[in-house]
Amino acid sequence: MNVHLDHTVINSTHRFEAARFLTGLLGAADPEVNGPFAAVRLEGGVTLDYADHIVPAREIVQQHFCFRVTDEHFDEIFARVQERGLEYWADPYHRTPGEINHLAGGRGFYVLDPDGHNLEFLTRTH
Three-state SS letters, 22-36: HHHHHCCCCCEEECC
Angle (nearest 5°) at CA 67 between 62 and 68: 150
Identical fold, 1-54 and 62-126: no
- Could you tell me the residue ranges of all domains in the chain? 1-54, 62-126
Given a cut of 90, whether residue 126 has pLDDT beyond it is: no
Q: Which CATH class is domain 1-54?
A: alpha beta
pLDDT digits (tens, 9 = 90+) for 27-75: 999 999 999 999 999 999 999 999 999 999 889 999 999 999 999 999 9
Q: Give 58-71 pLDDT, tens digit per residue.
A: 899 999 999 999 99
Beta pairing, strands 64-68 & 47-51: unpaired
Q: What is the CATH number of domain 62-126?
A: 3.10.180.10
- Partners of 40 in beta bridges: 48
Q: What is the mean pLDDT of residues 94-119?
A: 98
Q: What is the mean pLDDT of residues 96-105?
A: 97
What's the confidence (pLDDT) of residue 33? Answer: 97
